[in-house]
Structure 1
Amino acid sequence: MIHYRKILELQDEGISLRGISASTGNSRQKVTEILTIAKKKGLECPLEEEMTDQWIEEFLYPEKTLEGSGRQPLNFDHIHKELAKPNVTLSLLHYEYESECRSNHRIPYSYRSFVRHYSKYANKHKATLRIRRKPGEIMEVDWAGSTSSIIDRDTGESIKAYIFVATLPCSQISYAEATLSMDLSSWITAHNRAYEYFGGSTQIVVPDNLKASVTKHTTSELVLNPTYREMADYYSTVVMPARVRAPKDKPSVEGAVGIISTWIIGALRNERCFSLDELNKEVWKKLEEFNYRPFTRKEGCRMSAFEEEEKFALSPLPSMPYKMSQWKTAKVRPDYHISTESMFYSVPYEYINQQVELKVSDDLVEIFFNHMRVASHKRLYGKFGQLSTVRDHMPDNHRLYMDQTPDAAIEWAEGIGPATLKVVQYIMDTTSVEKQAIQSIFSLKKSERRYTKYEIERACKMITSMTKRPTVKSVQALLKSNKKSDAEQELKRNIEISETNYGFTRGASYYGGKDK
Structure 2
Amino acid sequence: MAVDWKQIMIMLLEGVSQSRVAGAVHCSKRDVARAARVVREHGVTMETLAGMDAGSVRDRWFPSKPREADSSYAQPDMDSYVERKGLYRRLPVKFLWYDYRNKARETGLRLYSYQSFCRLFAERCAQSDVTARLEHRPGEKAFIDWCGDCPRLLDPVTGRRAKVQVLVVVLPYSGLIYAEGFPDQRMESWLTGVRHALEEFGGVPNILVPDQCATAVDRAPRGSGEVRVNRRFAEFAEHYGTAVVPARAARPRDKALVEAAVGLVEQWAIAPADDMGPFRMLAHLNEYITCQVEWLNLRKPQDGSMSRRERFEGAEEPSLLPLPAEPFETCRWRKAKVPANYHIRVEHMNYSVPHRLAGRVLDVKLTTAKVVAYHNGEQVASHCRLHGASGQYATVPAHMPDRHRDMRSPWSRERFESWADAVGPETGRAIRRLLDSKPVVEQAYVPCSNILNLSRKYGSELLELACTETNRDDRIASLTGTRHRILAIRDAKRGEQATPTPRPARTAEDHAGNVGRVRGADAYKRTGREGSR
TM-score w.r.t. length of structure 1: 0.51
Query: Match for residue 314 of structure 1?
Result: 320
**1:283 aligned to 2:289?**
yes
1:361, distance to aligned residue in structure 2 (A) = 0.7
Equivalent of 2:261 in 256, 261, 270: 256
| CA–CA separation in structure 2 for the residues paired with 1:259 and 1:349 | 58
Which amino acid counterpart does residue 398 of structure 2 have in structure 1? Answer: D
**1:147 aligned to 2:153?**
no
**1:138 aligned to 2:138?**
no
Equivalent of 1:247 in 238, 243, 252: 252
1:405, distance to aligned residue in structure 2 (A) = 5.8
Query: Match for residue 187 of structure 1?
Result: 190
Within-5 A mapping of 1:48-59: 50=41
Paired residue secondary structure (1:201): coil
CA 1:49–1:258 in 2, change beyond 3 Å: closer, same or farther?
closer
CA contact (8 A) 1:217 1:223 kept: yes
Query: Match for residue 364 of structure 1?
Result: 370
Within-5 A mapping of 1:102-501: 132-217=135-220, 219=224, 221-272=226-277, 273-296=279-302, 299-401=305-407
| CA–CA separation in structure 2 for the residues paired with 1:275 and 1:399 | 56
Query: Match for residue 489 of structure 1?
Result: none
Which amino acid counterpart does residue 331 of structure 1 have in structure 2? Answer: K
CA contact (8 A) 1:137 1:202 kept: yes
| CA–CA separation in structure 1 for the residues paired with 2:246 and 2:336 | 29
CA contact (8 A) 1:209 1:217 kept: no
Query: Match for residue 42 of structure 1?
Result: none
CA 1:221–1:335 in 2, change beyond 3 Å: closer, same or farther?
farther
CA contact (8 A) 1:130 1:170 kept: no
Higher mean C-alpha deviation, range 305-314 or range 292-301: 292-301
CA 1:399–1:296 in 2, change beyond 3 Å: closer, same or farther?
farther
Q: Deviations over 1:64-120 (max 9, x none)?
A: xxxxxxxxxxxxxxxxxxxxxxxxxxxxxxxxxxxxxxxxxxxxxxxxxxxxxxxxx
| CA–CA separation in structure 2 for the residues paired with 1:236 and 1:257 | 26
| CA–CA separation in structure 2 for the residues paired with 1:138 and 1:264 | 24
Paired residue secondary structure (1:135): coil
| CA–CA separation in structure 2 for the residues paired with 1:51 and 1:169 | 23
- Identity of matched residues, %: 35
Structure 1's unaligned 5+ residue stretches are 1-47, 53-128, 407-432, 437-516
| CA–CA separation in structure 2 for the residues paired with 1:368 and 1:51 | 62
CA 1:329–1:253 in 2, change beyond 3 Å: closer, same or farther?
farther
CA 1:177–1:51 in 2, change beyond 3 Å: closer, same or farther?
closer
1:383, distance to aligned residue in structure 2 (A) = 4.2
| CA–CA separation in structure 2 for the residues paired with 1:184 and 1:49 | 47
Q: Deviations over 1:146-169 (max 9, x none)?
A: 101222233333222111100111
1:49, distance to aligned residue in structure 2 (A) = 5.2
Q: Deviations over 1:283-335 (max 9, x none)?
A: 11110111122235571221122122211111111233222222333333343
CA contact (8 A) 2:404 2:412 kept: no
Which amino acid counterpart does residue 239 of structure 2 have in structure 1? Answer: Y
Which amino acid counterpart does residue 255 of structure 1 have in structure 2? Answer: A
| CA–CA separation in structure 2 for the residues paired with 1:371 and 1:230 | 14
CA contact (8 A) 2:362 2:373 kept: yes
Query: Match for residue 453 of structure 2?
Result: none
| CA–CA separation in structure 1 for the residues paired with 2:293 and 2:137 | 23
Paired residue secondary structure (1:284): helix
Structure 2's unaligned 5+ residue stretches are 1-38, 44-131, 415-427, 433-533
Which amino acid counterpart does residue 241 of structure 2 have in structure 1? Answer: S
CA contact (8 A) 1:216 1:224 kept: no
CA 1:300–1:392 in 2, change beyond 3 Å: closer, same or farther?
same
Paired residue secondary structure (2:150): strand
| CA–CA separation in structure 2 for the residues paired with 1:395 and 1:328 | 25
Query: Match for residue 75 of structure 1?
Result: none
1:404, distance to aligned residue in structure 2 (A) = 6.2
CA 1:216–1:352 in 2, change beyond 3 Å: closer, same or farther?
farther
Paired residue secondary structure (1:366): strand
Which amino acid counterpart does residue 404 of structure 2 have in structure 1? Answer: H
CA contact (8 A) 1:323 1:361 kept: yes
TM-score w.r.t. length of structure 2: 0.49
Q: Deviations over 1:222-253 (max 9, x none)?
A: 44333222221111111112233333332221
CA 1:225–1:338 in 2, change beyond 3 Å: closer, same or farther?
farther
| CA–CA separation in structure 2 for the residues paired with 1:354 and 1:245 | 44
CA contact (8 A) 1:226 1:327 kept: no
1:217, distance to aligned residue in structure 2 (A) = 4.1
CA contact (8 A) 1:336 1:348 kept: yes
CA 1:172–1:371 in 2, change beyond 3 Å: closer, same or farther?
same
CA contact (8 A) 1:214 1:223 kept: yes
